[in-house]
A and B are shown apart, each in its own frame.
Chain A
């Protein structure tokens, strides 16, 4: 019997890297995508890890990279759509290139990977496996904080894509779930905090000094990415996994706020900036 395989997009750092290591420990074969040539050391030496080089924005590159999985002949039992970017900035002033990039990676990239890997997932299902798609969303997929509106908007879209795709694939026995972390000890926001153009020389410039402390606090109060990896493993293997798993400290608070009337949410989510 060949080793079942999982594809994870974006394994160079953060949740993707920790999840790849976790699944390797659990004896899966892991295909992990990286954009450049830099495969993290922890992964490159592992015999059950195969790096694939593609940017999720490049459909052609994804398709070429998938040839490797097709040729290897291992059943693809899971796809983890993890690759993502987080772009801060006011809606009014964020450059078009930046908000487009937010959706190109988090939404169109996810759709492209789903479309191109689904034939392999259907094939695994036909061989008797229960294939899964796990979309990495965010608490921002159910609540929108100001100045992270585009990120939130892309993650709201991911939630809809998860629900819709699950409902469409129900008759075919492929399950689709989302794992939504809150702030995580990963570099995603640090990568974004250098992008301050949208706050400069305009009516939002008073917010500039607040950006860096905010990023640091989010990382400090963040959950350990291993907890997210555990939730992803459960999503891949539980007989009936939760269709939506929110992973964060004080999860009850986020849940309560998302059920509050909007004007209350407004007050709660803008408190930090007053």
Chain B
């Protein structure tokens, strides 16, 4: 029997690249997509099964997991990848938007973990290595202004990763965070059209920075295939690094995190003047 991996959010970006990578390596992949269409390239692959659920919908997640169970598949890995990135000043971002940020990135991740864990325990009891990989972000290490709510959700994911790993240690299920910096994916572009929080208020001077900001992040970004490779190692290495930062010049971010907060403030203010996030 093939080892199976469940990846949430495979319609684009890191999720899609990871699904392709794991299929290529011989895994059976269950990938969640929100809309009916899905990804044609994946759909044609005999070892790929599309599950239709939004991570905000626990009933739908449950039905997806039931499908894996009905197939009799051995679930050895869960990759919590589905995520949204909402930008805007904390002062003005709408309640609906900041709630959506947490509904997807935090509650969605928790719900999928809770629903998939029985299958992971079964695989572990049958003698297989079971893993959970949470896709974090450099924004889970450091908070850049105007993506604060996104950062708060990714900080929350780092704590969930550490706590869950410590709770599952006695059971032998490892939990790891893979935290990319800017990646060549549409996540920020998708968010870019939502500029309401910057309009007609004291933050409107930021509006003309948003375009360059997004473009710089995508231009400096790593390829999603590189993140996929790190995810593969997190799923299969004997003793993987439980917190991997995947980013060009990641050492700067790691070092910055050790500096006093007021120094970090100056760094981000300067970056903002240069239309860059990190």
Contacts and interface: CB of A to CB of B under 8 A. Distances in A.
How many B residues touch the partner, as a band? 35 or more
B152 A160 contact: yes
Contacts of B153: 157
A244 interface: yes
A144 B159 contact: yes
B89 A160 contact: no
Chain A contact residues: over half helix, strand or loop, or mixed? helix
Interface in B222-273: 241-243, 258, 260-262, 264-265, 268-269
A262 interface: yes
A156 B141 CA distance: 10
Interface stretch (B23-31, B91-99, B209-217): B91-99
Contacts of A108: 95, 98-99, 102
A107 B152 contact: yes
Interface stretch (A17-25, A162-170, A189-197, A210-218): A162-170
Interface stretch (A48-56, A78-86, A111-119, A228-236): A111-119
Contacts of A93: 114
A118 B91 contact: yes
Contacts of B157: 153
A268 B232 CA distance: 28
A157 B155 contact: yes
Contacts of A59: 95
B164 A163 contact: no
Contacts of B241: 262
Nearest to A95: B114
A146 interface: yes
A168 B163 contact: no
Nearest to B111: A96
B98 A270 contact: no
Contacts of A265: 162
B261 to A, nearest CB: 4
Contacts of A156: 152, 155-156, 158-159
B61 to A, nearest CB: 12
A168 B145 contact: yes
Contacts of B53: none
Contacts of B145: 164, 167-168
A176 to B, nearest CB: 9
A145 interface: yes
Contacts of B107: 96, 99-100, 103
B202 A167 contact: no
Contacts of B260: 243
B268 A90 contact: no
B163 A152 contact: yes
A112 B91 CA distance: 9
Nearest to B120: A92
Given A92-B114, A172-B202, A152 B90 contact: no
A59 B142 CA distance: 28
B162 to A, nearest CB: 4
Nearest to A164: B148
Interface string A127-161: 00000000000001000111111101111111111
22 contacts: A91-B160, A92-B113, A99-B107, A107-B156, A149-B166, A149-B167, A157-B153, A160-B151, A164-B144, A164-B145, A164-B151, A166-B265, A167-B144, A168-B91, A168-B146, A170-B265, A203-B121, A240-B262, A243-B265, A262-B243, A269-B166, A270-B169
Interface of A: 59, 90-93, 96, 99-100, 103, 107-108, 111-112, 114-115, 118, 122, 140, 144-150, 152-161, 163-170, 172, 203-204, 240, 242-244, 259, 262-263, 265-266, 269-270, 273
Given A93-B114, A108-B102, A153-B156, 8 more contacts: A103-B156, A107-B152, A114-B91, A149-B167, A154-B156, A164-B143, A262-B241, A270-B169
Interface of B: 58, 89-92, 95, 98-99, 102, 106-107, 110-111, 113-114, 117, 121, 142-149, 151-160, 162-171, 202-203, 241-243, 258, 260-262, 264-265, 268-269
